[in-house]
């Protein structure tokens, strides 16, 4: 029984995700990118390439955000979440 309990605690500890820590400037950069993405209505990408086996390839991606969010609101929510989780370290 003790082995089972010890194994269970060890397994739980191994499966617990660790949160990535970052400096305040890294957090600001990341949250600004999230805010920019959340506020964007239309974004897309295009790719083109050539493969010696299959020949030319082309790709097109289009994202349409039907519910864009204000940048300031998204930025503040992101910073608050990182602060609450203890992911922002000074330095």
Token pair for residue 17? 């995700």
- 86 — phi, psi (to 5°)? 70, 30
Tens of pLDDT, residue by residue, the chain (91 residues): 667 666 666 565 556 566 788 999 999 999 999 999 899 888 888 899 998 888 999 998 988 888 889 999 999 999 999 999 999 887 5
Cα separation, 35 vs 9, in Å, equals 38
């Amino acid at each position: 029984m003790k082995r089972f309990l010890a194994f269970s605690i060890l397994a739980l500890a191994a499966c617990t995700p660790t949160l990535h820590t970052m400096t305040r400037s890294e957090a600001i950069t990341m949250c600004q990118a999230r805010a920019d993405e959340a506020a964007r209505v239309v974004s897309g990408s295009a790719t083109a390439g050539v493969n010696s086996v299959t020949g030319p390839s082309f790709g097109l991606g289009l994202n349409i955000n039907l519910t864009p969010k204000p940048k300031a609101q998204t930025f503040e929510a992101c910073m608050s979440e990182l602060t609450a989780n203890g992911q922002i370290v000074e330095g």
